[in-house]
Structure 1
Amino acid sequence: MRGGGLKSCFTNSKKYDFQRWFLIRNGQLLYMKRNNGNSMNDSSQQQSSYSVMISDLRLCTIRPSNDNDRRFVFEIISPNSSHLLQADSQIECDQWINSLQLAITNLFKSSDNGNANSFASLPRMFSDDRPNTFLTAKVEIKQQMIKDKIEYVRSLTGNEKCCDCDADEPEWASINLGILLCVNCGGAHRGLGVSLSKVRSLHMDTWDLETLIVMSELGNTVVNSIYEAHLSNDMKKPNAETDALTRRSYIEAKYVQKAFLRSLPASNQMRSSTRTIKRWSVMKSSISTANTGNENDDDTSHTLKVNNRQLLTRRLTAPSDNDTTTDNPPAIWNMNIYLYEGARHRNVPMMLHALALGADKNFFNEHDHGRTPLIQTILSRSIAAAEFLLTNNAKVNLADEDGRTPLHYATPLANKGRGPIILLLKRGADPLLKDHNGIDACSLSMTIGDPDVITWYRLIALHEQMKQEDADAEKTYISILDDPVYMKEIARTPSFS
């Protein structure tokens, strides 16, 4: 791989001002003092030994430097040091920054493919178009994944019409309720406030894959089976032509007063309805028809069966031993336990119902080590259930009675899938919080030995250090977690539907 000449200006507290030859190789940044009188392409120079400036580029942040005394300077920040390097021109400076960032990205991809020591795909230095081409391709992959998921959400049964007035082709969504709305009902939902309904445009707003996974678990038919279960003839549902005042009155009755809400099922009804879910993993099949069997009339069974009657049929497959849980009857029964059990069984519709009934999203279950519903979603490895709670303002760092946060639970499960870890980090989880034994998630990551997880946690630790000097320091690790490679990990996590 080709290298280039740079001037080393600053390393930690020491200032330098001499030219060196730098090279990116095997995931490291190497350097050699420039020999006077020798050409940069001198073969004797190329064969000389190099010293290591950065031993692992994955731990580094690369950014332009706002150095008022020098031009064409960029900065390399690692957990243990900081380096300022000066190029000969702005074009050369930009090429170095792009090449280093691209090298870091390829290192992450190599590790993810189980080939951490192979760096054949690292970029050639000073290429005018390859970095931009690669970054553009990543953006296009991400956008296509989001677009495909939006179209899937559109295809769910009932989503072809507005959830509240049945107007055709709704273009708005309430992301915490999991429904699609027309523009008029979307405006009414905005009036409810974000604590009740978070409205977003399907086309004009930015979407995360995690949010769309939640939308995929719900949909208008499922949600209306909960919120319109007891809709009577006295309250006529609005249509596309209904005036704004009547529309607003209906929506407030439905979501604020909960006038038509399905009631809390008895505990024995809930357990009989979730027993099958416990013993089986539910997967989507492309088959277009299936037998739905006989339906009973209890509330939760109705909700679960409606959820199963989505556009794509589900088929049951035998789970691994790790997917099974003991179905012990709850010591007490109320809406909070209902939410907790829904989280345990990856059942987002049940969780939506529980929150509508008034369950506490940050419920502290004193009968189960003080665990929260969010912790239960992490133990069940459900991105949809976890993101549903976080979208509804669950606290991402709320610990159990032993001081263990959701990230404490997610870290040892990295070998079963890193999707929950990625989600928690993107939503603000702190890997440096210690439990009552003085152990943090960062320490746990060293035990499991996953290099990517270790790197993510170290980058966050580095960001916390940078915040002490710059409160507005950029969260560079977020862009890494948004890479399509890791988005696919989120998409692969198990769900109820």
Structure 2
Amino acid sequence: MTVKLDFEECLKDSPRFRAEIEVVQNDVSELETRLDKLVKQCQAMLEAGRAYCQSSKSFVNGLRELGHHCSGDKMMEVKGMCLCHLFLKTKLQTFVKEDVRRFKDVRKEFERSSECLEGAQGRNAQAPRGKQHEVEEASNALLNARKAFRSEALDYVLEINVIEAKKKTDILMAILSLMEAQAQFFQQGHQSLSELDEYRRKLNEEHTQFVLNSAREKRDMEQRHAAIKKKDVSYDDSIMDFNADAANGIAMEGYLYKRASNAFKTWSRRWFSIQKNQLVYQKKFKDQPTVVVEDLRLCTVKPSAENERRFCFEVVSPSKCCLLQADSERQQQAWISAVQNSIASAFQERREDPHSPRQRCSSMSASNLAAGGGGGGADQEKEGCKALEEVQAIPGNKQCCDCGEPGPDWASINLGITLCIVCSGIHRSLGVHFSKVRSLTLDSWEPELIKLMCELGNTVINRIYEARIDEITIKKPHPSSPRGDKESWIRSKYVEKKFIQKLPETGRNPLLRRSSARRNRATTQDRTVQRPPLKPKPNRATLPRVTGKHWRQECVNPVLPSDEDEEEEDLSGLHPGALLYRSAALQNFPVMADALAHGADVNWVNVAEDSSTPLIQAVTANALAACEFLLQNSANVNQADSNGRGPLHHATILGHTGLVCLFLKRGADYNARDKSQKDPITIAVDAANADIVTLLRIAKMNKEMREMDGAFGQPGDETYQDIFRDFSHMASNNPEKLKRRSADPKT
């Protein structure tokens, strides 16, 4: 039995049911319109038929009159002709428009020449006998007029004879053509009707069967309708059961109230559904679904008891927080369970995906155990997975840096902290100039970025950005705090920086003078020998909390270089830019973070030391993580010093292969020339550093390949990416492997 509308869908009262109702109503309205139009067309056809019959009678009368007109000529007699609509009028039109018109034109010429002749005869008769010249003129005019008249008269007689002859042939030919067309028309009509005999019989049989089927369907539908009506037709929550394997891809659907994010906080009832690992809603069935959560793996769901309305729950993603309301507590729990199950299903699908990072780690570990080891690529994957766990194991990183929620799986890579999903969404809304958010579980992590995350942590950053939290009455939010409270706290903490320690009044002079030992060491930048590190960097766990003075007074001075000829320097009161400059060379990440928190320009220039920048200082110390930290905080990778040398030049001169790899990945210009007109490739060739030469040339070749491919080219060659990935892993995990020099200076 064909069912136009389903009773269960009727009970749901879903947008799909409303749309089907609308389709049926439109069909009925269109049928009514078409039938009404057909009736009007039929009426018009009947009226046209009457007019046609009247016109046919007039036409036949016209033929009779034509026959009476030509009664003297037996060939033209037409008797009792009853003809219909297919009269070939073109023949008669040609006769009327061409022959008759030409006859009229010749007649006009004949009448004009006749008038001219009559005038010439009159003038000739009136010419006086005594005026010989007038007599001659009148005689000549008469002669010419008579000649023209006789010529036109001959033409006129010819045209009369021609039209009389054509009158017989053309009219008779038109009538014969008309009769032939009529005969052929009726013959074709008879043949067509004969061919439809079988079709008419089939239509009659189908009509009989349709009548029987319609009666049967009507009886069955009435019985089913009566049976369902006896049941309780109140809303049944079982209709909302979660089904992850639904044929239409919709795991859950139903009505929910949604609170708007505008200032009025209005509530609207919308049809929500979970499909393709997304939470979407729509007002009407034909509307394009609006996506609330693009990827359910990036969200969490929890009941909301802070609202005055009942049965509310929140769906929280990194970009937004959506407050929803169900019709009952049972529906609320059903939706919460459905979202949780969808999240679990999405993660399960990702784990089963062989290309996912977690699956690669697990499969790699299993293969290593089975084979008793593995290649370098497998070791790198294993170290990468271990490093992710290491980030979460940093002191303070087991709780969200801003609200304390346990198990955070998001991070701010330029701040070096871990965040929960709610706080990560707020950080993302601040903009990348304040916080760059990345997932610890879903995004891919470069080894130098993991190394940077392990150098900082929530404890270190909170000692900077919450240094005066005890002096301020603002209360730090907790995991169950409303999103608005968390957002207000985060903006006050990172944007307005209300809780950081105020700078001392000293140190207003941003200039740094180079000491004698530092000047002597500066000349080594032009040689190929690598500079030794200045001093071991401080332990982040020893960062103190000091009352009454800024904590960096105890953190900076103990790690200063202590050469015999180095003059004493007190860095505790330095300008933030100068402090960032010094701490970058010392690889002191807490002090670098503190300097940036106090507004240090990440591209600050020290005029006293060849206009060097903090990034160049980090290069001289071969501080890979420090360079990554500065780059993540918007350091200019191409800013050059007074000698025209940028960070890539210095890394090439000092033979820091890992830093060269990092700068090339961050967009460093390998064609830039210093004041001696040397680019990094020339410097690397002169230094016989095969690794750096390889990196620079591969980067150049990869860029040229992309430019040749045009706008639709690939983002990079796979070989290029693999080589740079290997160098990044070595620079972060096995830097001693990069301390190689070619034995042949011509390499």
TM-score (norm 1): 0.60
Question: Please, which runs of 5 or more residues in structure 2 have no aligned partner?
Answer: 1-370, 513-532, 737-747
Partner of 2:598: 357
- Tell me which amino acid in the other structure corresponds to 1:215: M
Partner of 1:479: 722
Maintained 8 Å contact 1:466/1:473: no
Query: Per-residue deviation at 1:176?
Result: 0.6
Maintained 8 Å contact 1:383/1:493: no
CA offsets per residue over residues 434-481 of structure 1, 9 Å max, x none? 012211111110122121211111122323433442333653333211
What are the equivalent positions in structure 2 for 1:63-142 lying under 5 Å apart?
137-142=375-380
Which one of the candidate residues 200, 204, 213 is aligned to 2:438?
200
RMSD: 3.6
Partner of 1:371: 612
Partner of 2:461: 223
CA offsets per residue over residues 364-412 of structure 1, 9 Å max, x none? 2212111111111101110111000111121111111121010110112
3-state SS of 1:367 partner: helix
Question: Please, which runs of 5 or more residues in structure 1 have no aligned partner?
Answer: 1-132, 272-277, 309-315
Distance 1:146 1:359 in 2: 32
- Pair 1:212–1:302, CA change in 2 (3 A): farther
Partner of 1:406: 647
Partner of 1:99: none
- Pair 1:283–1:355, CA change in 2 (3 A): closer
- Pair 1:304–1:218, CA change in 2 (3 A): farther
CA offsets per residue over residues 276-310 of structure 1, 9 Å max, x none? xx86424889xxxx9999978642347849xx9xx
Partner of 1:153: 391
Maintained 8 Å contact 2:544/2:551: no
- Pair 1:229–1:296, CA change in 2 (3 A): closer
Query: Per-residue deviation at 1:243?
Result: 0.3
Distance 2:545 2:601 in 1: 33
What are the equivalent positions in structure 2 for 1:429-444 lying under 5 Å apart?
429-444=668-683
Partner of 2:365: none
Maintained 8 Å contact 1:463/1:475: yes
Partner of 1:382: 623
Distance 1:162 1:394 in 2: 27
3-state SS of 2:407 partner: coil
- Tell me which amino acid in the other structure corresponds to 1:488: M
- Tell me which amino acid in the other structure corresponds to 2:730: K
Partner of 1:12: none
Partner of 2:536: 281
Distance 2:539 2:382 in 1: 20
Which one of the candidate residues 237, 241, 250 is aligned to 2:476?
237
3-state SS of 1:173 partner: strand
Distance 1:326 1:444 in 2: 33
Instruction: Identify which range, 464-473 or 426-435, moves more after superposition.
Output: 464-473
Distance 1:241 1:470 in 2: 52
Query: Per-residue deviation at 1:144?
Result: 1.6
Distance 1:460 1:165 in 2: 43
Query: Per-residue deviation at 1:267?
Result: 5.3
Maintained 8 Å contact 2:535/2:586: no
- Tell me which amino acid in the other structure corresponds to 1:244: R
Q: Name whichever structure is richer in strand by fraction.
A: 1
Maintained 8 Å contact 1:238/1:250: yes
Partner of 1:488: 730
Maintained 8 Å contact 2:624/2:658: yes
Partner of 2:634: 393
- Tell me which amino acid in the other structure corresponds to 1:263: K
Instruction: Identify which range, 219-228 or 191-200, moves more after superposition.
Output: 191-200
Distance 1:352 1:187 in 2: 22
Maintained 8 Å contact 1:463/1:473: no
The answer to which structure, 1 or 2, has the higher relative contact order (CA under 8 A, 6+ apart) is 1
Q: Name whichever structure is richer in helix by fraction.
A: 2
Tell me the number of residue pairs that the alignment of Structure 1 and Structure 2 aligns. 334
Distance 2:544 2:463 in 1: 18
Distance 2:496 2:544 in 1: 34
What are the equivalent positions in structure 2 for 1:174-323 lying under 5 Å apart?
174-231=412-469, 232-264=471-503, 280-282=535-537, 298-301=549-552, 304=555
Distance 1:363 1:420 in 2: 20
- Tell me which amino acid in the other structure corresponds to 1:481: F
CA offsets per residue over residues 51-79 of structure 1, 9 Å max, x none? xxxxxxxxxxxxxxxxxxxxxxxxxxxxx
Distance 2:461 2:562 in 1: 30
Partner of 1:39: none
1:450 aligns with 2:689: yes
- Pair 1:478–1:297, CA change in 2 (3 A): farther
Maintained 8 Å contact 2:537/2:588: no
- Tell me which amino acid in the other structure corresponds to 2:733: A
Maintained 8 Å contact 2:706/2:716: no
Maintained 8 Å contact 2:605/2:611: yes
Maintained 8 Å contact 2:534/2:585: no
- Tell me which amino acid in the other structure corresponds to 1:281: P
- Pair 1:326–1:467, CA change in 2 (3 A): farther
Partner of 2:17: none
Query: Percent identity between the aligned chains?
Result: 36
Maintained 8 Å contact 1:167/1:182: yes
Partner of 1:96: none
